[in-house]
Amino acid sequence: MAIELESLEKGATIGVRSIPVTRADLVQYAGASGDFNPIHWNEDFAMSVDLPGVIAHGMFTMGAAVQLVTDWAGDPTAIIDYQTRFTKPVPVANSFDVPGAEIEVSGVVGAIDAENSTVRVDLTVVAGGVKVLAKAQAVVRLK
């Protein structure tokens, strides 16, 4: 189902999603990304550098959050820009099979550019009641 630009309104919700995160997810992401920084898998090391424990990769969090927009748009190539600021880490408790964290993502239409057939989606990304990404915005070109 294609999204009609004319049917959208600024402030309209595009969806909400809860994303469970396990230590196994972090290990798999490390393998895929090549980011083997021990703060993402070694509790003792993470705490020795003043972190609350193992934390999710920032790019993992960013990528998990934008999936809401990808699913809404129905086409990952429709996302022509995506940016954010990392504000807080996502601590992932010590469990490999039970979610050690939950990332909550919600999205709203932040702006509509009819001339360019684009929509800016503003994401709110929270973990443990704390906003972990700020000014997370994706620009989607609608067909």
Residue-wise pLDDT tens for the chain (143 aa)?
678 888 999 999 999 999 999 999 999 999 999 999 999 999 999 999 999 999 999 999 999 999 999 999 999 999 999 999 999 999 999 876 677 999 999 999 999 999 999 999 999 999 999 999 999 999 999 98
Within 13 Å of residue 94, how many CA atoms lie on the same side as its CB?
7
Domain spans of the chain, in order of start: 8-141
Q: Give the pLDDT of residue 94.
A: 84
- pLDDT score for 96: 64
Distance CA 100, CA 44 (A): 17
The topology (CATH level 3) of 8-141 is: Thiol Ester Dehydrase; Chain A (3.10.129)
Beta bridge partners of 98: none
**68 burial via Cβ count (<10 Å: 0-12, 13-18, 19+):** buried
